[in-house]
Amino acid sequence: MTTVEDLMTLLADCEDAWDMPDRSGDPVDILDHDRQCAELLRQQFPDDEELQVAGLVHDIGHVLVPGDDAGHGRHGANAVRGLLGPRVARLVELHVTAKRYLAATDAVHTATLSESSQRTLIAQGGPMTSEEIATFESGPDFTAALALRRADDAGKVIGLTVHSLDSWQPVIARVAARVG
């Protein structure tokens, strides 16, 4: 991914693309889910455009390498690192790690995971061990990664009206300009 236009095209390709090939996962397509996630982050963290953009692109790995649920965060991170920088890439990768963290530390959160998220948690390594928890908590983006994960879990509402994909282009361009 080398230009904002390339990323916008990939995001547009997420319309009518699903996290699970048989559509047994999230109830909305990847583009709708990612826009909902980004919108939640924009409302909660209006001054953190990198976090918002990470929410917008966090599931593109599902389109880049279909069927690799365990690796979709890594695939997405690798795709955007050069364009959007190391922090956005790290947050994209950490959204899966944060799910494992919350599964180990927050029983209420875990009980509210969708059936699909509960199923994929196993493929993603299951709840963290105490050593993994300590390592994750000491990371520089621990709080932001948890915020992204919580928005990820909440951004699955059928029919929710959110801003268009085009409205995100200036935000993506600003984040990309800080990298270049």
Cα 53 to Cα 56, 95, 161, distances in angstroms: 5, 13, 18
The pTM (predicted TM-score) of the whole model is 0.93
The share of the chain scoring above pLDDT 90, in percent, equals: 73
Q: Are the CB atoms for 56 and 36 separated by under 8 Å?
A: no
Task: Let me know: does 60 contact 19? Beta carbons within 8 Å.
Answer: no
Could you read off the pLDDT of 76-124 as tens digits, one per residue? 999 999 999 999 999 999 999 999 999 999 999 888 887 778 888 888 8
Handedness of CA 2, 3, 4, 6 (dihedral sign): negative
Question: In this prediction, what percent of the chain has a pLDDT beyond 70?
Answer: 96
Residues 6+ apart with CB under 8 A from 18: 25, 26, 29, 30, 62
**Alpha carbons 35 and 33: distance in angstroms, whole number:** 6
Cβ contact 58:72 at 8 Å:
no
Residue whose tokens read 């693309």: 17
Q: Which has the closest alpha carbon to 32: 157, 134, 131? A: 157
